[in-house]
Chain A
């Protein structure tokens, strides 16, 4: 600013210049006044401006400068002293303020500069924070996505849903163009395209598994960037400019048996699936680390979810299988129960129904045998009887076997003659053997007890069966039956390891050996012999005519008798030996009375009362004669009947011990006969005793009888007991007169 000291005329000829200066000063003053106003306005607006004091100073400075310039306007013309003094004041002030301001600025400007640097610094910081903020946000977003994906993946146990969801969610999260899953095939040599995001129906693309890129991916558990030209990545239709980046990650497929949580990553033989993710083409996007991490995490989760799904599938399958098996077993059990029930019903019915008619036939045939028959008829009846006996035996065998198996059969123990059993067997088998020209020999050891306690019938049945078999299967040669007491060493036979006999005082072991020289048995067939219904086929196609039950029943009987039975044979054509050991009891008392049980007849006392006593009965009345005869016959007497006195006299002899005479009949002189008999037999001991039978109950008759020389009198009717006592008395006392 220049203070112009020149004395200026009023509008000199340089007033153009003056005018310009005038105007400039004016505008400067204007500006100088308006700037502080603006400053004030802006300071008011910004509350944070820290240097108000500076601004005030500056404002003052500017105002004063403006004032100066304004006052300068008046100095262009002649001006008074006041103006000059004001001008001077103004300038002085202005000078002061400006100096102060200048001084102030020196202090302030570094501050202001440092504010700037601080501002720059803050901006950088803000930018940095923003960046970090963005990172965190993306991470958080990634985490959210992972959680969401995991949730989606794990919310279902269905394999397909899991995989589809994975791809969809991944595609959405990462904004992928294409996402694909390659599963290994059954053979393990190829990868098959199983699921894709965009393509609806993936074609059965396969890629061989031993590709270097694939191997690379499989060998690391990280997501690997692969080239878009790799076979697994060539999924999109070609023709785009710039294919986006592709990342592949392995998805371990866990087998049920391999699923152990601790050594999860270190499993050696693992199958992997390949997940391929492609960024959209023509975008400049790159795979970021967090995205790769997301992909890895997702791949692991998928693996876990798939294994869960696999476990579930497995257990569902197992459960279904079990249910099927249960149903099948149930059915089988029901069928078995039905079969058993049917068999039991059958047995129960057959047991009764079959035996009853058989016995009826046998009983009535034997009754028929005792009637009068022509020889032809007799032959027929005998045949009927034999056949029905055979049939009854067969039925009994079958029913016995079923009872044996049920365990309901019990032995009928009793004392029997052991020797007799063998003799009986021999007698039964001899006819057949002699027809076949086989020689049968029986050898009983001398120390074998004669009597034993056991089931005679079944023992005989067993021995007979064995001997019968020996005869049946021998065409020639001899059969020898030996029986002896089995000692401890012979009992412990290597052939019968499970047979552990126990010796005790009231039992003994009978050992029977039946050796034949017949066709023999193949040693391999021996175990089958004792199974029921199994016929020995190797002996040829000969129809042996048995039911195949015989040996099975024998074995069961022998087992019941706590014994053992087995067959030894050296081979076909070399004969065989059947050995039988049974446990029999010792009888306490070898007593005749314990011998074969005979059905007891009602004891007839009178039967042996007067055996053979010769008696003569004289009675004209046929009926009473018959009655008396019956009486005396019942008492065992030898009765001669006569109907008249002449006959009586003719037939009476000294053999007759008693003569019964009916003296009721008029016309018969009983007394006369008495006399005549007395005459006939002079010797008293030769004479038969004469007894009168009368219905007259008067004393006269009695006296007459006594007088006539009768030895006795009995009143009719005579009861059996009376006759018995009369005879007893008579024979003892030689006289009997009934009290009348």
Chain B
């Protein structure tokens, strides 16, 4: 059970580091709260949608900025607006801030600034994507491991509870597997 506790701790540390580093903010936490039995993979779905969106928008903006004829700042503006909206919905704080910064440059129609901002934006985006994917992998892995270990060593429980969402999912799976959840106060 130490192993599970370590994994849990890692998960919690990791997710709090994301918060600490400003990669995600409160909104992300809110999103995690929305996971329930009806939408067990809500966060992952939203995140994947966001990644798709983001990549598309960044691509578009990159293409637009590459235009030799003339940069269509209006389009860039739209993209940025969308990206800002998406990132604030998902709680990707640094991406959102990068967007805000980008916006000022695009408003000023500063191509160099825009390019720089786009790079910054890409960087932030990749960072976010990496972190979130790692987080998901850890959560899935520890979830599976938790299930297995609880089944195999029924008496023991990890010291600290998982985030509510995951706990609920795990409990559901364990009950379905024929086990029982000892109540912890």
Contact = CB atoms under 8 A, between A and B. Distances in A.
Contact of A359 (B81, B151, B173): B151
B154 A627 contact: no
Contacts of B27: 717, 719
Q: Binding site of B, secondary structure by majority: helix, strand, loop or mixed? A: helix
B105 to A, nearest CB: 18
Contacts of B141: none
Contact of B152 (A356, A628, A633): A356
Interface string A462-490: 00000000000000000000000000000
A607 B53 CA distance: 30
B66 interface: no
B4 to A, nearest CB: 16
B49 to A, nearest CB: 5
B23 to A, nearest CB: 15
Contact of A664 (B31, B85, B175): B85
Interface size of B as a range: 35 or more
Contacts of B173: 367
A666 interface: yes
Given A601-B168, A717-B27, A719-B30, A363 B89 contact: no
A607 B39 CA distance: 13
Interface stretch (B8-16, B129-137, B176-184): B176-184
Which among A601, A624, A665, A666 has the greatest number of chain B C-beta atoms within 10 A? A624
Contacts of B33: 634, 720
B7 interface: no
B167 interface: yes
Contacts of A604: 36
A587 to B, nearest CB: 22
B88 A363 contact: no
A332 interface: no
B174 to A, nearest CB: 8
B154 A359 contact: yes
A681 B82 CA distance: 31
Given A621-B85, A717-B26, 13 more contacts: A360-B151, A370-B176, A621-B89, A623-B89, A624-B86, A626-B49, A627-B31, A627-B89, A631-B34, A633-B34, A662-B85, A716-B85, A719-B30
Interface of B: 26-27, 30-31, 33-34, 36, 38-39, 42, 45-46, 49-50, 53, 78, 81-82, 84-86, 88-91, 148, 151-154, 164, 167-168, 171, 173-181, 183
28 contacts: A359-B154, A362-B178, A363-B174, A364-B177, A366-B176, A367-B176, A599-B181, A601-B168, A602-B167, A622-B49, A623-B49, A623-B50, A623-B53, A626-B46, A626-B49, A627-B31, A627-B90, A630-B42, A631-B34, A634-B34, A634-B36, A634-B39, A664-B85, A667-B78, A695-B88, A716-B85, A717-B88, A719-B27
Interface of A: 356, 359-360, 362-364, 366-367, 370, 599-602, 604, 607, 620-624, 626-628, 630-631, 633-634, 662, 664-667, 695, 716-720
